[in-house]
Copies of this chain bind each other. A is one copy, B any other.
């Protein structure tokens, strides 16, 4: 059957889909989700069909094509050539997904097929949702998680830095501030390790590492440019989303989001695939625990630690998991610019630096120095502190910033929001707790992560004494209107408990 192309003028963002009028679908005996092969000259593509029940969207004799399909057939936009349409069996990975729903373990090949089809746009979002639902409800064996991790790596681009010791770290998150990556990376680089760090932007938090680094320099690079930077400096801190590393992961996250599903196996595979994609040999995972952090109980953290270590072993990556205190924000600034300033002060040994952040960076860097053999057992922390104190890490940080296209020349040029509001203590006493989620909420309402200069600066931490009327935190906004809103939100969420 030959049909006239209608350019639908939409991208699906993944799945290859075409629209047929119900008359043509019925003639071809096709239903929602069935596959057709389209041929235009020497170009071919297989796509899933959607059915238009009215003639308005797609009339009989026509076929509606989305951007991804048009591109694959090399059809100019806004032209209407004819394409040949023929039936095509469904991709075999659908039967693997069905097998998972029926509670059976999938083989490495089966999982690879699914990931390949996901990244090639061969599965519809409904089909991918079934796979995610299957993994969530039936769980995944460690063998399956390992196969999934490998498949996600292999179906994307991979960075292959030259160094023998390639280090990566990851924090499970949920702790406001806590910008340890920007402290740890320059220490490790100064110690001679290779650290091709790809980071994420904030999704639900006030700032991701990539957002914070972006205050200082560019974070979006193509693979070639990035490999050049890594070769020159030994590492980088860039936004992972700009490259095609484990692209299946992002597509899976898209269908997890509507139900806020976060299956443990998927989480493990997602994190370790990013590490594998940059060819990490040594990996440190930081699991902060505490009220308001992503993982609240030590028991859950210990279980997760074990699983990470096992997966690391199966993947051939030396993986060390540390459970840290995530009961309150770490560092003083929360928000991209405020966090960047904290980090730079710390690297510079500036007296205004947050000591809790420094302590944590030294600990994490110390572990990585020890597991890579750059420090003897028990000496990692000492060496990390030396590197930091000597200013070598600070220098290395500037090397990275300059290689990535510096946005400023000196640390003091970091701009903060023009409008501020101080929140002062309503009583004299001792800070008993500071809730991560509440502080993150205030920072987001202030404009984070989009407004990089917005955020919250904490003048006090848990255990500090405070007098009535003394500043506890300062809210920074770029957009003055947000100030009122941030004040209101503070009243609702507050998040700070002061005892006697």
Q: Which residues of A contact B (CB under 8 A)?
A: 8-11, 13, 19, 26-27, 29, 31-33, 48, 50-54, 56-57, 64, 67, 77, 90, 94, 97-98, 101, 103, 124-127, 129-130, 133-134, 136-138, 203, 254-255, 257-261, 444, 450
Contact = CB atoms under 8 A, between A and B. Distances in A.
B94 A259 contact: yes
B129 A130 contact: yes
B133 A129 contact: yes
A322 B64 CA distance: 46
Contacts of A94: 258-259
B259 A101 contact: yes
A299 B27 CA distance: 38
Contacts of A138: 137
22 contacts: A8-B10, A9-B9, A10-B10, A10-B52, A10-B57, A11-B52, A11-B56, A13-B51, A26-B450, A27-B450, A29-B450, A31-B257, A57-B67, A94-B258, A101-B259, A124-B258, A125-B125, A126-B255, A127-B258, A129-B129, A130-B258, A133-B137
Contacts of A57: 9-11, 67
Given A27-B450, A90-B258, A129-B130, 15 more contacts: A9-B57, A13-B51, A13-B53, A31-B257, A54-B67, A57-B67, A94-B259, A101-B137, A103-B137, A124-B258, A125-B125, A126-B258, A127-B259, A129-B133, A137-B137
- What 3 pairs between A and B have smallest CB-CB spacing? A33-B258, A133-B133, A129-B129
A54 to B, nearest CB: 6
Contact of A32 (B97, B98, B254): B254
Residue of A8, A29, A50, A260 with highest tally of chain B CB at under 10 A: A29
A136 B33 contact: no
A1 to B, nearest CB: 13
B137 A261 contact: no
Contacts of A127: 258-259
Given A10-B64, A54-B67, A129-B133, A203 B31 contact: yes
A252 to B, nearest CB: 12
A27 B450 CA distance: 7
A29 B257 contact: no
Contacts of A136: 101
